[in-house]
């Protein structure tokens, strides 16, 4: 990986010794700084998505240490920024097109987790703040420790969440709750996260890895093509009318039936 604080394990779960890799793990590995984020880390996360073998079906995102991610490294707001990177002050002086392109490049680290060919699971403990919260939201599923604290602090800093987090947050909790979470910057703890749909499962911190492994095993037990089709139906369904979604279901089921029967649908 291009950044040593991001690790990609491509030696994960295989269903049999002869089969190719089915599970990969991406680990944030900067526990001394609570896995703060930077443009270099975002490039490494985007790189991890490009490096995934095509056989991977489940990707786990985890973090070392007591916190999942404390958000953006505040060094970004200093005049000097990061070595070899434009500071945020420099970005503010760029043209509109350059600024848009730069933010779009940052967002690439957060987009691939929802690809239809994989199911992504965020294992979240401790603080998941700002960019950390948005990274957890980038995944399909979230298994959280009972000490988790989510917070969207960008608005408190005079900014907005811009790392793809607003859409999944809105879909999960609804407009009024999403606005309240973002505008107040308050901490959302485990019980609230579960009740409002931010977390799929809450477990004691010591059991986080085991719970994620169990969930990954159940996901891998289902036929891959059926999971891909189902994920596509659910992911795109909110943008369709009821009748359009019915049509999408029929088309997907037709593909599955022909596949089962070994019939060429062309």
DSSP string, 53-112: -TT--EEEEEESSS-SB--B-GGGGSTT-STTS--HHHHHTS-HHHHHHHHHHHHHHHHG
Tell me the three state secondary structure of residue 69. strand
The backbone torsions φ and ψ at residue 24, rounded to the nearest 5 degrees and listed phi first, read: -125, 155
Q: pLDDT grade, residue 1 (50/70/90)?
A: low
Q: Is the pLDDT of residue 16 over 50?
A: no
Q: Is the pLDDT of residue 248 over 60?
A: yes
Q: Is the pLDDT of residue 225 over 50?
A: yes
Q: pLDDT grade, residue 210 (50/70/90)?
A: very high
Mean pLDDT to the nearest integer, 136-146: 98
Q: At what angle do helices 166-173 and 175-184 cross, to 10 degrees?
A: 130
Q: Is the pLDDT of residue 17 over 60?
A: no
Q: pLDDT grade, residue 11 (50/70/90)?
A: low
Beta strand pairing call for 201-203 and 141-145? parallel
Rounded Cα–Cα distance for residues 187 and 149 (Å) = 6
Mean pLDDT to the nearest integer, 61-73: 96
Strand order in the sheet with 127-129: 127-129, 149-151, 188-189
Q: pLDDT grade, residue 10 (50/70/90)?
A: low
Tell me the three state secondary structure of residue 26. strand
pLDDT tens by residue, 84-139:
887 888 888 999 999 999 999 999 999 999 999 999 999 999 999 999 999 999 99
Q: Is the pLDDT of residue 13 over 80?
A: no
pLDDT value for 89: 85
Of residues 78 and 175, more confidently modeled: 175
CATH of 6-221, one of 3.20.20.70, 3.40.1800.10, 3.90.226.10, 1.10.443.10: 3.90.226.10
Q: pLDDT grade, residue 79 (50/70/90)?
A: confident
Q: At what angle do helices 242-261 and 224-237 cross, to 10 degrees?
A: 170
Over the Cα atoms of the chain, what is R_g?
A: 19
Mean pLDDT to the nearest integer, 22-45: 94
pLDDT value for 77: 83
Mean pLDDT to the nearest integer, 5-14: 66
pLDDT value for 266: 63
Q: pLDDT grade, residue 21 (50/70/90)?
A: confident
Rounded Cα–Cα distance for residues 230 and 224 (Å) = 10
Tell me which H or E stretch contains 144. strand 141-145
Mean pLDDT is lowest, of 68-72, 75-79, 171-175, 259-263, for 75-79
Beta strand pairing call for 119-124 and 58-63? parallel
Chain Cα centroid distance, residue 229: 20
Rounded Cα–Cα distance for residues 124 and 40 (Å) = 21
Q: At what angle do helices 131-138 and 96-111 cross, to 10 degrees?
A: 50
Rounded Cα–Cα distance for residues 199 and 82 (Å) = 33
pLDDT tens by residue, 168-209:
999 999 999 999 999 999 999 999 999 999 999 999 999 999
Cross-strand bridge partners of residue 63 = 28
Tell me which range, 19-28, 140-149, 256-265, is most confidently predicted by mean pLDDT: 140-149
CB contact set of 30 (below 8 Å; sequence gap of 6+): 5, 36, 64, 65
Q: Is the pLDDT of residue 71 over 90?
A: yes
């Amino acid at each position: 990986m291009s950044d040593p604080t991001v690790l990609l394990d491509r030696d994960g779960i295989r269903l049999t010794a002869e089969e190719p890799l089915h599970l990969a793990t991406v680990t944030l590995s900067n526990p001394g700084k609570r896995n703060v984020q930077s443009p270099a880390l975002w490039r490494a996360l985007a790189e991890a998505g490009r490096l995934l073998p095509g056989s991977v079906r489940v990707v786990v995102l985890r973090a070392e240490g007591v916190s999942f991610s404390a958000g953006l490294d505040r060094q970004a707001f200093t005049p000097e920024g990061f070595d070899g990177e434009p500071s945020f002050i420099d970005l503010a002086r760029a043209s509109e097109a350059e600024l848009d392109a730069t933010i779009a490049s940052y967002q690439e680290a957060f987009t691939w987790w929802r690809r239809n060919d994989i199911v992504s699971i965020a294992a979240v403990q401790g603080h998941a703040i700002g960019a950390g919260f948005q990274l957890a939201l980038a995944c399909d599923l979230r298994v959280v420790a009972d000490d988790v604290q989510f917070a969207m602090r960008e608005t408190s800093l005079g900014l907005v969440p811009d790392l793809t987090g607003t859409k999944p947050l809105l879909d999960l909790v609804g407009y009024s709750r999403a606005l309240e979470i973002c505008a107040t910057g308050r901490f959302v703890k485990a019980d609230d996260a579960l009740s409002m749909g931010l977390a799929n499962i809450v477990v004691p911190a010591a059991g986080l890895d085991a719970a994620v492994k169990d969930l990954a095993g159940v996901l891998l037990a289902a036929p891959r093509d059926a999971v891909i089709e189902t994920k596509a139906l659910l992911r795109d369904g909110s943008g369709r009318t009821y009748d359009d979604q019915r049509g999408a279901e029929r088309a997907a089921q037709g593909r599955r039936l022909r596949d089962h029967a070994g019939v060429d649908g062309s």
